[in-house]
A and B are shown apart, each in its own frame.
Chain A
Amino acid sequence: MGAIWTLLLAIAVVAAAVNGRMADLTAAAFDAAGKAVVLSIGLTGVLALWLGLMRVAEEAGLVRLLARLARPAMRRLFPSVPPDHPAMGAMLMNFSANLFGLGNAATPFGIRAMQELDALNPHKGTATDAQALFCALNTASVQLVPATVIGLRAAAGSRAPAEILGACVLASACGVAVAIAAAKLLGRLFPPPAPAAPAGGEG
């Protein structure tokens, strides 16, 4: 990211030199820095409203309720994890927190889930199928309401900041479907290291 950013700045300066727009460039840089702060401030209200509401949902036990509802699906997704293993609970809480947009709550659950999954891992240092699927699912945003983006839209003066909700839900559903399919199907292409003893019946 650092290299890309630096490259962008360098390209801009060189292009401005070629096009004779140096003064414009300086003005634009300072103007944009100010605009970025104004935008962040404009977004604060929506973010505060949403995270406040989600904290209420969390304390009302909605995250846990959702986790319980998703249990049967999780058993099918993670057949290598015993249904009563603590990893299952941590993964469920992680997904539920993500769904409500509680990133700060989701990450500790996710890390605990990975640690619990690692207890079932015969090859430390190499991901198991369950760990790969869990992480792939976490990289496909499963979020009910993308509050930050809606806040940005509201701050930019959109007529309907939340009109993108339906499209977001459907697009992330496609991402999730592909994440599951790819993690399941590609597992065979990336076999775990063979143990010292003769391998067999693994997977």
Chain B
Amino acid sequence: MFRAVVEALSTWLVPILLAGIPLFALARGVKVYPAFVDGAKQGFETAVRIIPPLVAIFVALAMLRASGAMDAATRALAPVTGRIGIPAPVLPLVFVRPLSGGGALGVVGDVLASSGPDSYAGRLASVMAGSTETTFYVLAVYFGAVGITRYRQALPAALLADLAGFASAVVMVRFLLGGP
């Protein structure tokens, strides 16, 4: 039942938004087309902006794989990563995600290319990246804006939230999309 609801959400949410938002906007008298084109331009700029970090991470991971270092690390870490349900290729994401948004996309892209987007590893990497944020960047921007240097509980709370996001990503992917 629960699973069916979430599945329906995954299938229907995008089409509903695609039709519903322009309809709603039209009814409110918004100039829908120019607004769309203007926003889409921003999407283009975003895609260009993430090319450099994507290149950096892709090259590093490809070099690690070609050198044999990735295989060695995978073999060494397999017992640990297997137990917590995070395959070795996805593991870098746990460390990169809070530090760099572009870097995280690079890891996700690498996993999607090497393991396949519809594999367990590919789905897990997608959900882990899609359900967490670039924690250190967010904290630096917002606290920096008001000159706060003592974050108090914000940092541990944010990191705990990241951990919870990663752990629940493992659970949700296994439960909703199938295990490894």
How far does the alpha carbon of A137 sit from the alpha carbon of B60 in the complex, in Å?
A: 32
B165 touches A164 (CB 8 A): no
* Count, A-B residue pairs, CB within 8 A: 391
A172 touches B131 (CB 8 A): yes
B130 touches A49 (CB 8 A): no
A53 touches B48 (CB 8 A): no
Tell me which residues across on chain A come within 8 A of B78, comparing CB atoms: none
Mostly, the B contact residues are: helix
Mostly, the A contact residues are: helix
> A104-140: which residues lie under 8 A (CB-CB) from chain B?
104, 107, 110-111, 114-115, 117-118, 121, 124-127, 129, 131-136, 138-140
> A47-90: which residues lie under 8 A (CB-CB) from chain B?
47-62
Please give the distance in Å from A44's CB to the nearest CB on chain B. Answer: 4
Tell me which residues across on chain A come within 8 A of B172, comparing CB atoms: 166-167, 170-171
Q: How many residues of A contact B (CB 8 A)?
A: 112
A44-B149 CB under 8 A given contacts A161-B117, A171-B165: no
Query: Does A197 have its Cβ within 8 Å of any Cβ on chain B?
Result: no
A25 touches B153 (CB 8 A): no
Between-chain CB contacts (< 8 Å), 27 pairs = A1-B103, A5-B57, A12-B64, A15-B67, A35-B113, A36-B55, A40-B50, A43-B47, A47-B43, A48-B47, A104-B42, A111-B145, A124-B148, A126-B149, A127-B143, A135-B142, A136-B161, A139-B133, A140-B158, A141-B132, A151-B47, A153-B126, A156-B109, A166-B172, A167-B10, A171-B128, A171-B169
Given A21-B68, A55-B42, 14 more A-B residue pairs with CB atoms under 8 Å apart are: A16-B63, A24-B67, A52-B37, A52-B40, A53-B22, A55-B36, A111-B145, A117-B146, A125-B150, A140-B133, A152-B117, A165-B13, A171-B130, A183-B154
